[in-house]
Amino acid sequence: MEIEFYGAAGCVTGSCHMLKIRDKRILLDCGMYQGKDEKERGNEIFPFNPKDIDYIILSHGHIDHSGRIPLMYKLGFKGEVICTEGTMDLCSAMLRDSGYIQEMEIEWKNRKRMRQGLEPLEPLYTSKIAELSMYLFRGYAYEKSIELFSGLTIRFKDAGHLLGSSIIELFIDENGKEVKLVYSGDLGNTNVPILRDPSKIDYADYLIMETTYGNRYHGNINNQLEKLSEIIKNTVKRGGNVIIPSFAVGRTQEVLYVLNHYVEKNMLQDISFYVDSPLAAETTEIFNKYQKYYDEEAKKIINKGDNPLNFKGLTFVKSSEESMKVNKIQRGAVIISASGMCEAGRIRHHLKHNLWRKESSIVFVGYQAEGTLGYEILSGKRKVKLFGEEIAVNAEIHNLEGLSGHADRNGLIKWVEDFKAKPKKILLVHGDSEAQKSFKELLNSKGFNSKIVQINEIFKDNIKEDEMKLSYKEELVNYIESIDNLDNYDREAFIKNIEKILNKNKQ
């Protein structure tokens, strides 16, 4: 077995890891770079030939994990995309929408290029190519053993991050040697609305693990939910609107679930709620289709005859004309719109009409990658650029991290500590450098053997001597890094521990 890391290595987006097992080439995810990562790495070129890939095993539908599958198809990939049935249905909407965004962005760029006498560009892929790529998808239920070929059987476990999201267990048999690899995908936050908590895993020889919030804590989610209600009431009272940049898939449905609770309890009255995203409207229907994925609390609400994703005063805005009418609303509206990082879509129009108004509020409910407009606003910039115009940031800015779909530092460490046996190696991906370094130190302080992988790095399982040397070198580094103050550390104890590691390597 060999693993090559091509995305979300040393960064947060663009998840893509290649497995080489026997004569097969398998990708774990094939995501799009976003924000700063996109500017630095680009989405146009793969470091391998898409025609050589036999399978893509997809952890979930978010674009930073699935967004380059249509490009793979466009460039000749004809293998199968293996995922859960929920992920397959979400991707049918999300990838088509992503293709449409590619087309619109290129059309805008090409108008400028034509005026400059430059050759036109083409989109990464179109909505039609995205639609055609769905013929490669195969959807499966959780907990089902799936033999992809002789030597690889996989199983999807619920990751609790997004409808259909999965932790992937890979059972590998190569040259008579059995190895279990686990890929965490994106691990969900616990006790969030609608979805179940992440599944527990019994063991893994090797673990590829995300670290998005490896150095941060979300705080009490119930306090965050109450805060959202208070923000809405206070904003409406002073004559403004509440704008919620939200990922159309997952976060929007969770926010609706929360708002439904407060509306049903008559705690939010005489307020108009708008979901201004055709994709959010379409994927909310998919959420309704997969109520079997819901947690027990959500199922109880459904059994009482209530739809937790719809309530009095809620409007799903679909057409551009309707969206423009919502832009003209001056007060008393809660507008949930995509994209969640404010990089594209209708949210940018709502920000343009409300960001400069001190009576309005902007509420972030998800991760903001460095280099995105959402990150700039959260960072305290007093002016930002929208549609070529500088807009003052006068509205109240709020960040409710408790609503995050990612596990925080506590959630991550608890999940891996629940393994019945420690993995031989934990390979850390999907996090910025600070989050990864902090979480690596935490893991190693608890006796785990972890490593931050970098782009294009290769990890091999088949050469025991090399593995031993790598482990020995890293054990030395980890030991030295674990000492806060080397100057004041007991010299004899230090030498004794170094000798212990060296002797262990000789054995």
What is the per-residue pLDDT for 176?
A: 84
pLDDT, averaged across the chain: 90
DSSP for 392-460?
E--SEEEE-GGG-SS--HHHHHHHHHTSSS--SEEEEESS-HHHHHHHHHHHHHTT--EEE--TT-EEE
**What are the angstrom distances between the C-alpha of 134 and each of 44, 129, 499?**
20, 9, 57
What is the per-residue pLDDT for 465?
A: 36
Is residue 58 within 8 A of residue 83, CB to CB? The reply is yes
Distance CA 412, CA 408 (A): 6
Structure tokens of 376? 């700039």
- pLDDT-wise least confident of 160-174, 193-207, 483-497: 483-497
Which residue do the tokens 């991290």 mark? Answer: 401
**What are the angstrom distances between the C-alpha of 282 and each of 128, 222, 461, 485?**
17, 28, 43, 56
As a CATH number, domain 221-403 is 3.40.50.10890
**What are the angstrom distances between the C-alpha of 374 and each of 16, 399, 422, 472?**
24, 10, 38, 42
Write the pLDDT tens digit of every residue in 379-398: 999 999 998 899 999 999 99
Which residue do the tokens 């989050």 mark? Answer: 435
**Between 450 and 465, residue with greater pLDDT:** 450
Name the 3-class secondary structure at 364.
Answer: strand
Distance CA 438, CA 270 (A): 46
Distance CA 148, CA 76 (A): 20
Taken in order 29, 30, 36, 40, is the CA torsion positive or negative? positive
Name the 3-class secondary structure at 320.
Answer: helix
Distance CA 440, CA 442 (A): 5
CB contact set of 268 (below 8 Å; sequence gap of 6+): 229, 232, 233, 259, 262
- pLDDT-wise least confident of 68-77, 149-158, 258-267: 258-267
Write the pLDDT tens digit of every residue in 107-140: 988 998 999 999 999 999 999 999 999 999 999 9
Distance CA 38, CA 150 (A): 37
CB contact set of 60 (below 8 Å; sequence gap of 6+): 66, 83, 87, 159, 161, 162, 164, 165, 166, 185, 186
What does the DSSP 8-state code read for residue 145?
Answer: -
Distance CA 439, CA 469 (A): 23
Structure tokens of 58? 């997809």
Write the pLDDT tens digit of every residue in 11-37: 999 999 999 999 999 999 999 998 888
User: Is it true that the peptide bond before 15 is cis, omega within 30 degrees of 0?
Assistant: no
**Between 498 and 365, residue with greater pLDDT:** 365
What is the per-residue pLDDT for 507?
A: 46
Q: Which helix (H) or strand (E) holds 147?
A: strand 146-149
Write the pLDDT tens digit of every residue in 296-312: 999 999 998 899 999 99
Q: Which residues, in sequence order, are bridge partners of residue 182?
A: 169, 207
What is the per-residue pLDDT for 463?
A: 44
What is the per-residue pLDDT for 421?
A: 93
What is the per-residue pLDDT for 39?
A: 82
pLDDT at 212 over 90: yes
Which residue do the tokens 């991906």 mark? Answer: 429
Write the pLDDT tens digit of every residue in 486-506: 555 566 666 666 666 666 554
Torsion over CA of 345, 350, 352 and 354, rounded to 10 degrees? -160
Distance CA 499, CA 367 (A): 44
**Between 437 and 174, residue with greater pLDDT:** 437
Write the pLDDT tens digit of every residue in 234-282: 999 999 999 999 988 888 999 999 999 999 889 998 899 999 999 999 9
**Between 479 and 21, residue with greater pLDDT:** 21
- The helix, strand and coil proportions of the chain, stated in percent and rounded to the nearest 5, come to 40, 20, 40
pLDDT-derived band at 468, boundaries 50, 70, 90: very low
**Between 485 and 418, residue with greater pLDDT:** 418
What does the DSSP 8-state code read for residue 21?
Answer: E
What is the per-residue pLDDT for 396?
A: 97
What is the per-residue pLDDT for 462?
A: 60
- pLDDT-wise least confident of 27-36, 157-166, 229-238, 477-486: 477-486
Q: Which helix (H) or strand (E) holds 385?
A: strand 383-386
Is residue 53 within 8 A of residue 79, CB to CB? The reply is yes
pLDDT at 85 over 70: yes
What is the per-residue pLDDT for 44?
A: 93
**Between 412 and 473, residue with greater pLDDT:** 412
Fold held by 2-216+405-462? Metallo-beta-lactamase; Chain A (3.60.15)
Structure tokens of 55? 């399978």
